[in-house]
Amino acid sequence: MSKKSRSKLWFLVHSWLALPIWFFVLIVCVTGTLAVVSQEIVWLANPQMRASPPSDDAPLLSYDEIIAAIKKAEPQTLVERISRPDESHFALDVEVSYPDGRSVTVYVNPYSGVIQGTAPQFNFKGFTRALHGWWLVPFTNGYSWGWYLVSFLGLPMLASLVTGLVVYKRFWKGFLRPTLRFRHGARIFWGDFHRLSGIWSIWFIAVISITSVWFLIKAALYDNQISISTAPVAPVVARESVPLTIDGAPAPMISLERAIHEAKERIPGLEDSSVSLPANAYSHLSVSGRSWYPLIFQSAEVNPYTGDIAATRLLSDRSGLELVTESMRPLHTGDFGGIWIKLIWFFFGLILSMMVLSGLLIWTKRTALATANALKRSNKRPRTVVASQPAMNREATEVSR
């Protein structure tokens, strides 16, 4: 095959990749973009989720003080887990269990311990993530087919990136001389826009598509009962080490501060961003958070009666493969370094959505038109070359210029 006709073929492949499901692809991109900042959107909409310090030098309460404050305000409420969101302007998320059997998240002020409100019944964050992640298709046996449907899009997206760079000859020149022509009609504008935003989001498209392909592989591995995990089976507290009490009252547990202290002794640099209380008499207190590597959480299981560390899951316990695969999700969502990283992901998410849209606009304005023309011509001369080639030639040279 000649060099020229090969580039034509690449171009044709690139032109047809997102089609004919472009609208589906667009909505997946838009919902993903929204999901990145879903927590922030809820924060804006819901004042109860905000943590305003009473004064500039107000100290944060310890988790024990938080539990004591909740116990005082609502003696019947049981705390299951406390998490401290990444950004300090968020209230603590506390998972609680009510006597009426409801399990909900409440927002607790980290300075005062005041329960500021209950998470709304409509969980916007959960909803956008479910819509983007598995198209709301329920998980019944293993992964939902919606998950496969969405994550499969990683493949055409990766192919779009590769073919796009192949047909856009000497694309690196676009970095030095950015072109965005406004006054030459919509077709030229969208073409420039598509190329310009394309080269500036090479890294982002690569990250999103590769991590999506990983999600596809992950589901396929899981559904075929193939495990790459080196994580040991979670231990239980030995029957002997759970004390019996004479009066039949629950055995006393160590304080959360003590548990956090033990965990930090064992894992230097551990942030105590989440503490889970034991889920029954034989399970552990779990302390987890990041340390120097922002993409992966480390955790320690602490015996709630003795304070002994029963198990840890450290960065160094993970295989090289796990370090890579467990970094995939935060890389995909941009949730690993606070608001600024999220805003970068959000911005490039918007750009990516616009690329789907501009790609379609170019396609309708060029490919469809060219196909129609070619069909008209082939009508007159039945044995002409493949449809739409003349238009492609023009485009290919225009791109290479």
Partner 1 sequence: MNHVTAEKPRSPLSHFWHTWRFHINVLLLMVPLGFMPKYFADAALFRGDTGLGQREIGEVQVGPWSLRLAEFRNEGPVSDGPAGPIKYFNAALCDSCRDQVKATYLRIGKPRSLRAAGVIFFGTPYRMGAGVPVPEKTKTDAELWITMEGWDGAMHQASIPLSQASPATLAWLNKQGGKP
Question: Measuring CA to CA, how many Å separate 111 from each of 39, 116, 193, 197, 306?
Answer: 21, 12, 48, 44, 29
8 A C-beta contact, residue 69 and residue 113: yes
Applying CB under 8 A, the span of 165-173, 202-210, 236-244, 391-399 interacting with partner 1 comes to 236-244
Residue in 281, 272, 150 with CA at minimum distance from that of residue 209 = 150
Residue in 233, 210, 288 with CA at minimum distance from that of residue 256 = 288
Can you tell me the distance from the alpha carbon of 291 to that of 270, in angstroms, rounded to the nearest whole number? Answer: 5
**Residue number, 80 or 308, with CB nearest to partner 1:** 80
Residue in 165, 207, 211 with CA at minimum distance from that of residue 14 = 165
Applying CB under 8 A, the span of 61-69, 125-133, 198-206, 334-342 interacting with partner 1 comes to 125-133
Q: Which amino acid is at 223?
A: D
Q: Single out the residue of 97, 255, 306, 373 in contact with partner 1 (rule: CB under 8 A).
A: 97
Provide the 8-state DSSP code for 90: B
Q: Single out the residue of 78, 114, 253, 339 in contact with partner 1 (rule: CB under 8 A).
A: 78
**Residue 244 found at the interface with partner 1 (CB under 8 A):** yes
Can you tell me the distance from the alpha carbon of 198 to that of 261, in angstroms, rounded to the nearest whole number? Answer: 48
Sign for the CA dihedral angle at 380, 381, 383, 385 comes to negative
Q: Single out the residue of 62, 83, 112, 123 in contact with partner 1 (rule: CB under 8 A).
A: 123
| Cross-strand bridge partners of residue 313 | 299
**Residue 233 found at the interface with partner 1 (CB under 8 A):** no
**Residue number, 59 or 126, with CB nearest to partner 1:** 126
Applying CB under 8 A, the span of 35-43, 59-67, 118-126, 262-270 interacting with partner 1 comes to 118-126
Minimum distance, C-beta of residue 278 to partner 1, in the bound complex (Å): 9
Residues 33-62 that bind partner 1 (CB under 8 A): none
Output Rg (C-alpha) for the chain, integer angstroms. 27
**Residue 280 found at the interface with partner 1 (CB under 8 A):** yes
**Residue 248 found at the interface with partner 1 (CB under 8 A):** yes
**Residue 73 found at the interface with partner 1 (CB under 8 A):** no
Residues 213-232 that bind partner 1 (CB under 8 A): 225
Minimum distance, C-beta of residue 138 to partner 1, in the bound complex (Å): 6
Query: In the structure encoding, which two tokens stand for residue 31, read together?
Result: 């919902």
Q: Single out the residue of 1, 176, 233, 249 in contact with partner 1 (rule: CB under 8 A).
A: 249
Three-point CA angle 357, 359, 362, nearest 5°:
110
**Residue number, 197 or 276, with CB nearest to partner 1:** 276
H-helix or E-strand containing 79? Answer: strand 78-83
8 A C-beta contact, residue 259 and residue 62: no
**Residue 75 found at the interface with partner 1 (CB under 8 A):** no
**Residue 241 found at the interface with partner 1 (CB under 8 A):** no
Minimum distance, C-beta of residue 76 to partner 1, in the bound complex (Å): 9
Residue in 386, 374, 366, 44 with CA at minimum distance from that of residue 188 = 366
Residues that bind partner 1 (CB under 8 A): 19-24, 27, 78, 80, 97-104, 121, 123, 126-127, 130-131, 135-138, 140-142, 146, 149, 225, 239, 242, 244-251, 279-283, 375, 378-379, 382
